[in-house]
Amino acid sequence: MCGIVGYVGKHAASSILVEGLKHLEYRGYDSSGIALAEGNGIEVIKKTGRVAVLAGLAQKHASKASMGISHTRWATHGGVTDENAHPHLSWDSKIALVHNGVIENYKALRTFLEGEGATFRSQTDSEVLANLIAYYYNLDETAQNGNRLVCAVRQSLIHVEGTYGIAVICADLPNEIVGARKGSPLCIGVGHGENLIASDVAAFVGRTQNVVYLDDGQIVHLSREDFSITTIAEETVSPVINQIDWKIEEAELGSYKHFMEKEIFEQPQALENAMRGRFSDDESTAKFGGLNLDAREWRQVDRIVFCGCGTAWHACLVAEYLIERFSRIPVEVEYASEFRYRNAPLDKNALFFVVSQSGETIDTLEALREAQRKGFRVLGITNGVGSTIARESDGGVYQHSGPEIGVASTKAFTSQLLISGMLGLYLGRMRDLSFGDGREMVKAFKSLPGLISQILDQADQIKAIAERYAEFQDFLFLGRQSMFPIALEGALKLKEISYIHAEGYPAAEMKHGPIALISEQCPSVVLSPHGDTLKKVMSNIEETRARKGRVIAITSAGKDFPDSAADDIIRIPTAHSCIMPILSTIPLQLLAYYIACKRGCDVDKPRNLAKSVTVE
């Protein structure tokens, strides 16, 4: 949440900062702003609304400053106003700060600073930190140059409770930026004669492919030619420079109307990337290079616990079905946001998986740390190469989906489902899954890109169905077994981007209460692929239609599901059960997307949401 970009170099900073914010706008879009070191002080330009509004204001300003910081906001403390937008200036206008995170003890700090004569312009916790840094900066006039600012930041952060990713500049130091992180991501873009700081590599990937990821408790001091990293405890850190493995073109919209549309249609390639090099030579099992467990250690695992939030939690639920079915290992699924506040009894031989597209989801990261604190091994499934979860976990699997910009996850979700299925195969072959069954599963996984392309070819038909249902205000999504989590995900997608109230249920649970909601004004989307429960699901459909409820069915059942069985039918290919959750997801994504478009919603930037949730 919230996007931070800072630049110090040889070029005009304003346009570089605004361009960086455009690539981070999915992280927050309530307001945005820039602070530029003009030589005789700090100039701040900020405004509510999208980055395009700021871009217009910055262009009129036409600054030649070669250093500055910027921010696009997802509001936490304080409403969406110009005053609450970042950057924040200290009361004496010497310090400008941008901040991602939450300062939990900001009220006590504010009371102290007001007693010292500081004044405040906003209702944010972030302005408190700007004034605290100014307080310590003015208190220590003996330190020289940038060290004085670093010392002020360090002294301030010692007193801060909460999370932060910050970038700070000072009017006295027109060529230096100080950044620090705890709980909110921050990274350094290492250039030639210029350096950048940002909350996500997407902000600077067009300028450099070299990146340094900061860890919690680290402070970075940037100048045009160099940077140095120390800890809060004043220890020197030797930086590790990584290479970004994707190009800026992958984060561009291209010919698509929305990033969500682009990412839906990228799924055949995204899943191809997730599979590449991950099957054995005899094609009877999966293989993973980063799990850091040998076969003997896997055999000692008695239970697996999955943790995730939102869409990733739905992927965890599918993993439960797939791994239990194919490997016969008991699986539990926890909301990551609840896990560390519980005191659940856990088997001593349990293994944890945490799932997060960004690898920065704060609730999931804290669940990882809580599990490790209790002595458990934790593996990660993430799309964020170099992310905090990737660095702190004991091993894991990269999704290799490429950048996902749309707030509503699509290709990252199906990639998580694929990896879950491949884990079920991998563990099953270590136990009692036969060679032949393993080969059938590998064949099914490899068929996915082509089968998904077949479904995407039906986009116009699905769009026509979606537009017939776009005016309804309530939906139910129903499925059984592994289709139940897909029903939950379908309901979430519709809620996220179209603001239609939607709920997902196990189909058989309808008669235990939710059937009271059925009416002509409440359509149901029913997942009814071929399989053992098809007849039961068709019975649920009949119960719905008998109460005048309209039904959109997604099925692979062929002749067993006649055209008369539902009001509208989307037919998907018949396939192995290990990939049916993925195939069934694609029509739900398209339905949600086209309904939101018909309703005139901002698909890529839905209200109140942000892409990467880095605050609790």
From 2, 187, 307, 522, the catalytic residue? 2
What is the full DSSP assignment across 302-330?
Answer: -EEEEEE-THHHHHHHHHHHHHHHHH---
User: Residue 63 corresponds to which amino acid?
Assistant: S
| DSSP type of residue 165 | E
3-state SS, residue 507: helix
Alpha helices in 381-499 (DSSP H): 388-392, 411-430, 435-456, 459-468, 483-498
Is 26:50 a contact under the CB 8 Å cutoff?
no
Length of the chain, in residues: 616
- Distance CA(356)–CA(379), nearest Å, equals 11
| Beta-carbon contacts of residue 122 (< 8 Å; ≥ 6 apart) | 78, 81, 83, 84, 88
Q: Output the six-digit token pair for 191.
A: 């250039």
Is 38:2 a contact under the CB 8 Å cutoff?
no
Q: How many CB atoms lie within 10 A of CB 328?
A: 13
From 182, 262, 605, 611, the catalytic residue? 611
Catalytic site includes residue 535: no
3-state SS, residue 111: helix
Catalytic site includes residue 2: yes
- Distance CA(57)–CA(328), nearest Å, equals 60
- Distance CA(581)–CA(421), nearest Å, equals 10
Q: Output the six-digit token pair for 152.
A: 């002020």
**What dihedral angle (degrees, nearest 10) is formed by the CA atoms of 144, 150, 156, 160?**
-170
Is 286:441 a contact under the CB 8 Å cutoff?
no
Residues with catalytic roles: 2, 611
